[in-house]
């Protein structure tokens, strides 16, 4: 994200791309309805049409009941498609477990001999000059790009939410439950996220940073950490 970006962030995954397409589609329909209704309401002030004998208008009421229902279908169908698309798990090659705590995230790579670590926000007074305030963490989540990744989310105390806008991921971490979703990062880079369930005093200060790297680099990182 950059300054004055009022829309969605650029997508870094196919699912987020679809979410953006759906957002634009719904917004376009919304604009058309708003303009039409706005025009009609505005024009009502400037005419003097009166019909003293008007008692009913079956036809027009049929039209203005059924037409909005059809328009709603044009939103409901793609929305349903997206809902099922987001829930699909496609043979993940890496599984990451993410546990919400008050107030930090901890991560486990259970596939690789139990790599696990905590990820805390870097406080403003310890931030590097090129760091992002309230957004950078001490230990990043390293993940391979161009791979299906499964994420398991849970929490140790209260409800948290593991949310990465650029990837289109938003999963609640609930104590006593394991939630699952998956994503595919299609480019390298850093992707920032924040907790999005109001989880207590420091809710705003448990960000998430994902470092998306080529698969080779990911394997190197894994093998380095498994031995230590």
Q: How far is the CB of 49 from ligand CUA (least distance, A)?
A: 55
Nearer to ligand CUA, 94 or 153 (CB): 153
Q: How far is the CB of 101 from ligand CUA (least distance, A)?
A: 8
Residues 65-124 that bind ligand CUA (CB under 6 A): 100
Q: How far is the CB of 89 from ligand CUA (least distance, A)?
A: 25
> Residue 219 corresponds to which tokens in the numbers above?
């394997």
Tell me the chain's radius of gyration from C-alpha atoms. 24
Residues 25-64 that bind ligand CUA (CB under 6 A): none
Angstrom distance (rounded) from CA 143 to CA 151: 11
Between β-strands 179-184 and 141-144, what pairing exists: parallel, antiparallel or unpaired? unpaired
- Binding to ligand CUA by residue 160, rule CB under 6 A? yes
Angstrom distance (rounded) from CA 98 to CA 155: 8
Q: How far is the CB of 198 from ligand CUA (least distance, A)?
A: 6
Tell me the number of residues near ligand CUA by CB under 6 A.
8
Angstrom distance (rounded) from CA 131 to CA 9: 19
CA atoms within 13 A on the CB side of 158: 12
Give the number of other CB atoms < 10 A from CB of residue 85: 12
**Site string (173-212) toward ligand CUA, x via CB under 6 A:** ----------------------x-xxx---x--x------
* Chain positions contacting ligand CUA, by CB under 6 A: 100, 160, 195, 197-199, 203, 206
């Amino acid at each position: 994200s950059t300054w004055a970006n009022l829309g969605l962030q650029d997508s870094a995954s196919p699912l987020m791309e679809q979410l953006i397409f759906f957002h634009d589609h719904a917004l376009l329909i919304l604009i058309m309805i708003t303009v039409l209704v706005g025009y009609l309401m505005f024009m009502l002030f400037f005419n003097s049409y009166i019909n003293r004998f008007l008692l009913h208008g079956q036809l027009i009421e049929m039209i203005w009941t059924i037409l909005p229902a059809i328009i709603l279908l044009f939103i409901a169908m793609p929305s349903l498609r997206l809902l099922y698309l987001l829930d699909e798990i496609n043979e993940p090659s890496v599984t990451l477990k993410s546990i919400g705590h008050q107030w930090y995230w901890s991560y486990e790579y259970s596939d690789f001999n139990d790599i696990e670590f905590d990820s805390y926000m870097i406080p403003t007074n310890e931030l590097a000059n090129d760091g992002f305030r309230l957004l950078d963490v001490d230990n990043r989540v390293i993940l391979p790009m161009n791979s299906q990744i499964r994420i398991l989310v849970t929490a140790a105390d209260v409800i948290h939410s593991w949310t990465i806008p650029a990837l289109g991921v938003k999963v609640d971490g609930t104590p006593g439950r394991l939630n699952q979703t998956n994503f595919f990062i299609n480019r390298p880079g850093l992707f920032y996220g924040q907790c999005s369930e109001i989880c207590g005093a420091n809710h705003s200060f448990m960000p998430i940073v994902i470092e998306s790297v080529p698969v080779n680099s990911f394997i190197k990182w894994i093998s380095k950490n498994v031995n230590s």
